[in-house]
Structure 1
Amino acid sequence: MWNQDHFFEKIDNLERDGFMLRDGEGVPENGVFIRPHMHLQYEIMWFRQASGAYTLGNEKFPLRDNTLVVVAPLTLHDMELNYSDGHERFLLQYDASLLNHLKVPGARRFTSHSGVIPLSDVDASRVQMLFSWLSEQVHRGVPQESIAPLLNLLFSTIYQHAAQAVFAVLPSGAESTFDKIIRFVGHLETLPTNIFSLSEAAHHCDLSVFHFSRSFKAIMHVNFKDYLLRRKIARAVHLLTQTDMAVTEIAYRCEFTDSAYFCLKFRLIVGVTPKTYRQNSRTTKQLSSRHDKPTR
């Protein structure tokens, strides 16, 4: 089974078009819990019919019918869904490069925010139509350049509604430290190797080692040493699924000096050995503690 702590999610399938759309997924009778995680991409979820809760940072919001959720990069979030026959939702994940390419009006004002947006029936019908239309085009394999006008209309509509959002607010007094550490994490994720010691990381954030360590764990829900280890494991996961490298070579590439130690840490975090993971590789949706049941 998967480790139940927080995850940094590496989102696949964005390289070609700069976005990924998922829909047509139901909720099993015992519900679905998506574990706390964050990623470098933007995320929009549209709940046409839903019951449950969505957590952004430290704030938990109820999920009801006709609710939009916008998630900025590196925002910790999780989701609980209750079973319902008519459940319907869409998940759209995308890179900043897509917004820049589309030149979506008004987007820049809200791209650093995460929040929950309840819509009226009239507005919800329009958003539902746009998501359904986009889904149809994606499933038909229509190229991105042909979908661009529809994407622009969808993003423009959503960001117009963002002014109504119930935005998540950081704990009072924590904004400065939070921003420093989140920016630092974003910087780390652009580097191919782990080059920072604890003291260097604290200095980079202009914090004492004690303050950095305590704040990093409070924000990321994992200490800095374990975070660096998980970065190595995340890189190993990519190499296991995208290459035919031997496990010993992957261990070396991911800065482990001993293959046995690499296998031990991999199993501790992922729950299976590297060999088993390669044979049964999972996708993004396995962040869920229970697999979604397709409705079509």
Structure 2
Amino acid sequence: MTDTDQNLLPFAFQLQFSDPVWRLVFEQIDTNPGLFVAELRSRESQTLTLVTVELPTGKIRFEQKPLLPFHTSLTGVWNGFALYHRFDNTRLPVPTALGSVDLKTGLPRWEWPNHVLVSANADRVWAQRISATDRSPAPIVAFRLTDGEPVETAENPAVSHNSRLHFPVSYTMSSSWWPVFERFIQKIADHQAVESVDYLEIGDKIIFSYYYRETNDQLRSYLLIIDRLQTIWLHQRTNLGPESAQPQSESNALPLFGNGSFCVWQNQVIFPSTSTCITSFYLNSLP
């Protein structure tokens, strides 16, 4: 097949942002309405913007430039409360504080210096104190999610997992599975994959995100979705530009979705179609 985009999937939404998308974090409580927060970063102006988006519609709920340092990064959303790590030393990417930010106003709710997130649930946050001098393991402490007040608890830290979210597994060229993926993508898409492949099976669909070098040696990324009969439902270039269109082996950046280059939320695949654009399609026909 050619490099022409091909798509048979129902459209869900597309969001165009003013600044590059650094990362997406998702609501972690299964029973809550779906949402994600896009971290937008402008290196030129050193500004951080948080855009809160409803799922499945893609409607923007809030957009704020939070009163937080540029290198602050969200760790996730629990019960509508966004937790973040503060990074004060740009040369040493180690968290220096754990806090919560109000997505509606952009104002910090609470912050605990010298703590890092262990886990969280709908009511509590578990954290561990860190020290630059003391290397001995610190005890895990618990805070209230709403206001950061310490609480006594005999519970073990909650395991964060949203059953509606599915992330791919990444395979590099050193993997024993690499020849299988390389031959399959060559057969289906007529591209020779390089560096790494993200892979996910969900329902009757099989999803690949892979890198391919064009004749001018330009590195491109593609999303390929097929079914078990090898029908191509989506084959789209996700041109992320020269900086972000790099496999993780060539980049120090965090994966855009926390784990990989796309994710599936319920019946929707969500992926970056450009460095400033997030696109979503439904994997199956709507009822």
TM-score, reference length from structure 2: 0.27
Normalized per residue, the structure richer in helix is: 1
TM-score, reference length from structure 1: 0.26
Larger relative contact order (C-alpha < 8 A, sep ≥ 6)? 1
